[in-house]
Amino acid sequence: MARYATDLRLRARLFSIAVYKLSKHVRERHPALRNASDQLFDAASSIGANLAESEGLNTPKEFAARYAIALKESKETLYWLELLRGAEPSLEPHLGPLLGECKEFIAMTTAALKKLRS
């Protein structure tokens, strides 16, 4: 994971790739968690998609709207990661770093929104 990457969009893309790999692993080894895995990937990939869409927008209001969606998707991603953690403790080694990164996305997008809205 690009823990120290300075480009938030790149960091979100790398996060989505890591979540995809986890999702694939879960689908193969824990079929009962297939739906949760799919929901996780949808939410996680939406973080990066919304950050990418924010590039080149004309107004701070439009920019803030994309960041607000990215924050919402980050919170949903956190939910699904925590659900997988509770449902299948053997996934903890895979989930720990992703949970940490997801919490950082929540903190960063929250801070950016506060700044944009002030």
The Cα 92–Cα 111 span in angstroms is 28
**75 closest CA partner among 115, 104, 55, 117:** 104
Q: What is the mean pLDDT of each run of 10 residues along the chain (118 residues)?
A: 65 97 96 97 97 83 92 98 97 96 96 88
Whole-structure pTM over 0.75, yes or no?
Answer: yes
What integer pLDDT is reported at residue 32 of this predicted model? 96
What integer pLDDT is reported at residue 40 of this predicted model? 98
- Report residue 111 CA to chain centroid gap: 16
What integer pLDDT is reported at residue 6 of this predicted model? 61
What is the CATH code of the structural domain delimited by 8-117?
1.20.1440.60
